[in-house]
């Protein structure tokens, strides 16, 4: 009798273990088959998540816990390509192996966590994707003045404004970084300065919109430039690279091509009573004089010194060619 009872107990235990095993097999997560999914793009899908949600504590100038998430290389240091489950960054945002879920002030959305997981499991590649921006729909009724329509790209439209008006020597360049802010590239701009989708909650936009920045000794941004920054943030603050409209065919004139190049890249530092080194580039006569003496071309080509000063803000070879053609054709005004 005792033997039969033991057999029955063993049989029940075996059945229970088999049942639990089947449940585990049916319920366990086998993971996403990332080979069947569209590749996740680092610069337009992954980078904005880390910059907006993590870089406040783990930025270039503040790497809490020795961890930084401000550019591809710093993020990759906490990632194991092709293995999200064993990646430090992914464990942090899913609460696995950490005493506190990250970010501490609010977990990432399910979609954001999935994007990061798929990106890592696809190899955590530094993919740069060309985006086709859509016009911004004006929905912010608290903002007054200026246009809210038009497609804007960071690399083509926003970075030249910021590097020439903010990321200059003595202000927010890499060496000075006044008040702890560096404004020289996408990663630095997105750290503590921009809240994607919300211009009026973004320190960058409110500073220029209220004319607090650039400071009084520098030329303030035009309304058109403020609108571009507003539209870019409102449309998601993506690191977009759009095809340039630069054209070297036809006749080059100050009014049609040259003024825009200098306005976007030089005028913020070279205008008014406080023009750097006394060089004025905000009117036709002064620009013509500095073109005639060779200082403009030698500066933009980096022969005597590099202008604009930061590598990220260098004007394009096409724009340099436009300047050369303008000079060779007689420096026409209109």
pLDDT of residue 67: 86
Last residue of a domain, one of 104, 121, 138: 121
> Are residues 210 and 258 both part of a single domain?
no
The total number of structural domains in the chain stands at: 3
> Are residues 228 and 264 both part of a single domain?
no
pLDDT of residue 25: 34
CB contact set of 231 (below 8 Å; sequence gap of 6+): 136, 148, 149, 150, 151, 152
Report residue 60 as tokens. Answer: 């270039």
> Are residues 110 and 47 both part of a single domain?
yes
Residue 131 is assigned to a structural domain of this protein? no
> Are residues 270 and 311 both part of a single domain?
yes
Torsion (CA) 216, 219, 220, 226 in degrees, nearest 10: -150
> Are residues 266 and 230 both part of a single domain?
no
The CB-side HSE value for 69 (13 A sphere, CA atoms) comes to 27
Report residue 266 as tokens. Answer: 């030089």
pLDDT of residue 99: 66
| Separation between Cα atoms, residue 76 and residue 59, nearest integer Å | 14
> Are residues 43 and 102 both part of a single domain?
yes
Residue 60 is assigned to a structural domain of this protein? yes
> Are residues 38 and 84 both part of a single domain?
yes
Query: Comparing C-alpha atoms, which of 201, 200, 174, 196 is closest to residue 185?
Result: 174
Report the SS3 class of residue 63: strand
Asked whether 284 and 267 are in contact (CB, 8 A), the reply is no
Last residue of a domain, one of 65, 96, 121: 121
Q: What angle do CA 189, 223, 174 make, to 5 degrees?
A: 25
Q: What number of other Cβ atoms are within 10 A of residue 276's Cβ?
A: 18
Residues β-bridged to residue 172: none
Residue 68 is assigned to a structural domain of this protein? yes
**Residue 309 φ/ψ, nearest 5 degrees:** -70, -30
| Separation between Cα atoms, residue 322 and residue 308, nearest integer Å | 16
Residue 13 is assigned to a structural domain of this protein? no
pLDDT of residue 287: 94
In order of 55, 306, 311, the CA distances from 301 in angstroms are: 34, 7, 12
> Are residues 69 and 112 both part of a single domain?
yes
Report the SS3 class of residue 58: strand
Residue 15 is assigned to a structural domain of this protein? no
> Are residues 230 and 268 both part of a single domain?
no
CB contact set of 263 (below 8 Å; sequence gap of 6+): none
> Are residues 47 and 117 both part of a single domain?
yes
Residue 249 is assigned to a structural domain of this protein? no
Largest CA distance in the chain: 114
| Separation between Cα atoms, residue 205 and residue 29, nearest integer Å | 44
Range of the domain at 214: 154-234
> Are residues 68 and 40 both part of a single domain?
yes
Report residue 285 as tokens. Answer: 């006569």
Report the SS3 class of residue 39: coil
DSSP codes joined into one string, 93-113:
HHTSSSSS-SSTTSPPPHHHH
Report the SS3 class of residue 187: helix
Residue 19 is assigned to a structural domain of this protein? no
Residue 103 is assigned to a structural domain of this protein? yes
Report the chain (334 residues): mean pLDDT per 10 consecutive residues: 49 44 37 74 85 78 77 91 92 78 80 89 85 42 41 83 80 80 86 88 90 79 90 89 74 90 80 80 92 91 76 77 92 93
pLDDT of residue 141: 36
């Amino acid at each position: 009798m005792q033997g039969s009872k033991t057999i029955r107990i063993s049989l029940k235990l075996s059945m229970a273990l088999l049942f639990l095993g089947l449940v585990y097999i049916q319920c366990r997560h086998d993971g996403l088959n990332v080979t069947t999914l569209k590749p996740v793009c680092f610069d337009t899908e992954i980078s904005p998540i880390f910059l907006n949600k993590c870089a406040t504590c783990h930025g270039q100038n503040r790497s809490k816990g020795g961890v930084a998430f401000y550019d591809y290389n710093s993020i990759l240091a906490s990632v194991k390509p092709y293995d999200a489950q064993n990646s430090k960054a992914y464990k942090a945002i899913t609460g696995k192996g950490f005493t506190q879920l990250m970010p501490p002030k609010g977990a990432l959305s399910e979609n954001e966590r999935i994007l990061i997981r798929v990106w890592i499991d696809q190899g955590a590649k530094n993919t740069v994707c060309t985006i086709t921006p859509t016009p911004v729909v004006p929905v912010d009724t608290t903002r007054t003045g200026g246009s809210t329509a038009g497609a804007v790209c960071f690399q083509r439209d926003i970075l030249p404004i910021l590097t020439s008006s903010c990321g200059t020597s003595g202000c927010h360049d890499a060496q000075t970084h006044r008040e702890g802010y560096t404004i020289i590239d996408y990663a630095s701009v997105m750290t503590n300065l921009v809240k994607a989708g919300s211009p009026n909650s973004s320190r960058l936009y409110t500073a220029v919109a209220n004319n607090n920045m650039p400071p009084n000794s520098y030329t303030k941004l035009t309304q058109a430039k403020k609108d571009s920054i507003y539209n870019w943030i409102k449309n998601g603050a993506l690191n977009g690279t759009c095809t340039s409209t630069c054209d070297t065919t036809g006749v080059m004139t100050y009014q049609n091509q040259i003024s825009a190049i200098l306005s976007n890249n030089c005028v913020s530092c070279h205008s008014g009573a406080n023009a750097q080194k006394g060089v004025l580039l905000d009117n036709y006569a002064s620009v013509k004089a500095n073109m005639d003496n060779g200082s403009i071309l030698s500066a933009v080509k980096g022969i005597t010194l590099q202008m604009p000063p930061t590598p990220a803000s260098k004007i394009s070879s096409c724009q340099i060619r436009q300047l050369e053609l303008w000079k060779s054709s007689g420096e026409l005004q209109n």
